Amino acid sequence: MKIFLDTANLESIRKFNDMGLLDGITTNPSLMSKEGGNPKDAMEEITKIIKGDVSLEVVSTEYSGMMEEGKRLRQYGKNVVVKVPMTPDGLKACKSLSSEGIPVNVTLIFSANQALLAAKSGAKYVSPFIGRLDDVGQDGMKLIEDIKEIFENYPDFKTQILVASIRHPVHVVDAAKIGADVVTLPPAVLDKMLEHPLTKIGLENFLADWDKLKSQNPDIKI
Ligand code: G3P
């Protein structure tokens, strides 16, 4: 399973990229807005740091604007995936951009039918938002199971399931068990995945025992 970071925060991107954890990045207008400043600088920097796919989202809502923005966004790098919303114009732009060899991520997917249609339009990724479904009392992970089953029934679909709106580490384990292609994670979720209280206690004990040994043999070194 690929891991993308769902952020436009350069510090977080560098931190996790240096650990070798990142296969790509997803952004959206809300994440850009959260960082402030000029999004152009962030987009330039992110596409330089990350070798894998970087999803950059259009803000136009009609076809021609999406096409113009998509082509401009693609100029940031060959690894740019144009993110379009799950709307009729979004699907039309998805079809045109994909036919021109520009990969597309269709976002704001909340049903299996929407994922099916985005795949038909040639999307490289579909982004079902599972946390937002959980928020309104629907089972977000059930949607991932359904999309996985549908895509497996039709091997001609090459569209990848990119699980978005992930809120906690259990979402990640569940998505991996289902066999989702990608999870996109807020930095805080990736931080939590790294940690376990027994790892922390275990390391403290190792170091305390080493200090005991060192007090008896001050010259020892590893
Ligand atoms: O990529 C966007 C998606 O992950 C949104 O997440 O937490 O705003 O529902 P959230």
Output the pTM of the full model: 0.96
Ranges of the chain with pLDDT below 50: none
Tell me whether residue 23 is in a domain: yes
Spacing, Cα 205 to ligand 1 middle (Å) = 39
What is the model's pLDDT at position 59? 98
The continuous run of DSSP H or E covering 76 comes out as: none
Is position 83 annotated as part of the catalytic site? Answer: yes
Give the structural domain span for 61: 2-190
What is the model's pLDDT at position 48? 96
Q: How many CB atoms lie within 10 A of CB 203?
A: 10
- Give SS3 for 5: strand
Tell me whether residue 26 is in a domain: yes
> Which residue, by CA, sits nearest to atom 9 of ligand 1?
165
Look-up: residue for tokens 């010259």? 219
Tell me whether residue 221 is in a domain: no
What is the model's pLDDT at position 200? 97
Query: What is the domain-level CATH number for residue 174?
Result: 3.20.20.70
Spot the catalytic one: 15, 34, 51, 83. Answer: 83
Tell me whether residue 174 is in a domain: yes
